[in-house]
Structure 1
Amino acid sequence: MPNTATPPAETFVELTTTTPLLDYETPAIQSLIRDRGWRGLSQFDQIGALHDYVRNEIRFGYNLADTTKASQVLSDGYGQCNTKSVLMMALLRALGLPCKMHGFTITKSLQRGVVPELAYPITPQNIVHSWVEVWFDNRWVKLEGFILDDGVLSALQKQFPDRNSLCAFGAGTDTLQQPEVNWTGADTYIQQTGINQDFGLFDTPDQFFAKHPQELTGLRGFMFRNLLRHWMNTRVRRIRNGHSYSLPKGALGNG
């Protein structure tokens, strides 16, 4: 049964504050909120507007690090699960909507096809992952469906028209042709089936990433920041534009 017990008021205050990563008081974020008129919407429509914005106007791609500030993710115009979650949380909190981060790891097979095969063997087996939980309608609602933009998702649906189960190319779902990515007041998912470890809930992304940093240090970290992520972003753009990448036989399972 879902936990619908209302948290105390002081908890709500803590879950709407700024942090170094959730820097929603910066001019760019405040201007975005003002220009879009999000403050005048109902809570349901606020969450829906933010979910759609982060899903499609912040395209799927790889930033410099998971610990990229929300304002920088906005400036980059792209993000992955963790950096999009940071921006989503900052926007929610800027509108006074309490939220927190749920931390996990996902199997690296979820990124196969986005990660070039040449680099795949040296990537970490477990990749730090997160989604956002927002307090709405007296319950915590899970938001993960904003990770893949419609362009990438549509391209994958066309590439695999007879497949529902997919754990590759940035997707981890058993409902590829009709994924739960649209805000209806219920949970949204697009990478859920790739999860292999649950770290639990954190009040802020700052706390989560401090306790569970991605294992990208030394030469491997340097290569990711300066070479591999740019290569991955190029592949994502090509997928979005309709290019199909093949994987080794058996990599997709039976789906």
Structure 2
Amino acid sequence: MSPTEHRALLRPTAILDYTHPRIEALIQSRGWRRLPTRERIAAIYDFVRNDIAFGYNLADDLPASRVLDDGLGQCNTKGSLLMALLRACGIPCRLHGFTIDKALQKGAITGLAYALAPRNIVHSWVEVELDGQWLELEGFILDADYLRALQQRFAKHQGPFCGYGVATPDLHAPPVEWNGGNTHIQKDGINQDLGVFDDPDRFYARHGANLDGLKRWLFQTVVRRWMNRNVARIRSAQSSHPPQAGSQPATPQGRQ
């Protein structure tokens, strides 16, 4: 990586607003900058994965500081926060954009919310440069409590699983813990590769967010609250609860 590319992948942007006082205060309180590089990435990854719960924000293109304030997020918004924290701690990173089939979200999203969702949902993961290699980080999307609830809910399921925010070959052993390699939880739901971008600002400028107009207004004012209540119910469910009607996982869509 050239010095110019290195600087571009560390700079703040309107979405990656890591100079915000609350982001800086978090980094100082956690002492992340004092950690060796691998431990630094691991600590930031674990924070975004588990301290920021899986849920739905007002929009995909929110500043990272707003995602931190919300305390929840999904693939795109948690990715923005992860990138902001990594860059603030000197870790070069970029965004890889995709679309996913909305079947991946069925169960987490139901009813009107599912009907409003576009067939192909804008999706992304974060790539970090470490020891001259680019690593794919996507496994941070679902917090451990939510994933554990799904594993209990579908305790007898074997083979590929697609639904409830998951698209993976094995629900009970998804590669979500960061140990120096790639992590994934929705990769098998990808149906279009949109390429690599220096930052989310450029990605959304080219491809937009998932909703606009009336659908965006309905999502922000009504539907999002239903979705987050549903996700909270799934997370808090006991293993003795049977799956809801119609909640069997779908077959993952093939990657194009």
Instruction: Give the TM-score, by structure 2 length.
Output: 0.93
Task: State the Cα distance separating 1:16 from its structure 2 match.
Answer: 0.2
Partner of 1:252: 250
* Structure 2: distance between partners of 1:249 and 1:84: 25
The structure-2 alpha-carbon separation of the partners of 1:247 and 1:139, relative to structure 1 and needing over 3 Å to count, comes to farther
Partner of 1:24: 18
CA deviations over 1:16-58 (Å, ceiling 9, x no partner): 0000000001111111111001011011001100110000000
Segments of 5+ residues of structure 2 without an aligned counterpart are: none
Partner of 1:238: 233
Task: State the Cα distance separating 1:214 from its structure 2 match.
Answer: 2.7
CA deviations over 1:199-219 (Å, ceiling 9, x no partner): 010001000011111341222
- 2:113–2:227 contact (8 Å) kept in structure 1: no
Secondary structure at the residue paired with 1:179? Answer: coil
- 1:113–1:245 contact (8 Å) kept in structure 2: no
Secondary structure at the residue paired with 1:62? Answer: coil
- 2:91–2:128 contact (8 Å) kept in structure 1: yes
What does 1:11-90 correspond to in 2, within 5 Å?
11-90=5-84
Aligned with residue 149 of structure 2, among 142, 149, 155: 155
CA deviations over 1:142-186 (Å, ceiling 9, x no partner): 000000000110011011113242111011111210111111100
Partner of 2:132: 138
Task: State the Cα distance separating 1:245 from its structure 2 match.
Answer: 5.2
What does 1:93-172 correspond to in 2, within 5 Å?
93-163=87-157, 164-172=159-167
The structure-2 alpha-carbon separation of the partners of 1:92 and 1:213, relative to structure 1 and needing over 3 Å to count, comes to same
- 2:99–2:191 contact (8 Å) kept in structure 1: yes
- 1:166–1:176 contact (8 Å) kept in structure 2: yes
CA deviations over 1:82-113 (Å, ceiling 9, x no partner): 00000000000001111000000000001101
Identity of aligned residues (%): 50
* Structure 2: distance between partners of 1:22 and 1:244: 41
How many residue pairs match? The answer is: 248
Letter of the 1:148 partner, please give it.
L
* Structure 2: distance between partners of 1:100 and 1:30: 20
Task: State the Cα distance separating 1:244 from its structure 2 match.
Answer: 5.8
Aligned with residue 222 of structure 2, among 227, 231, 238: 227
CA deviations over 1:182-201 (Å, ceiling 9, x no partner): 11100000010110100010
* Structure 1: distance between partners of 2:70 and 2:242: 25
RMSD across aligned C-alpha pairs, in angstroms? Answer: 1.6
* Structure 2: distance between partners of 1:69 and 1:31: 16
CA deviations over 1:223-248 (Å, ceiling 9, x no partner): 11111111000001000001665353
Letter of the 1:213 partner, please give it.
G
Instruction: Give the TM-score, by structure 1 length.
Output: 0.93
Letter of the 1:173 partner, please give it.
T
* Structure 2: distance between partners of 1:78 and 1:245: 24
- 1:103–1:198 contact (8 Å) kept in structure 2: yes
* Structure 1: distance between partners of 2:200 and 2:224: 21
Partner of 2:190: 195
Letter of the 1:80 partner, please give it.
Q
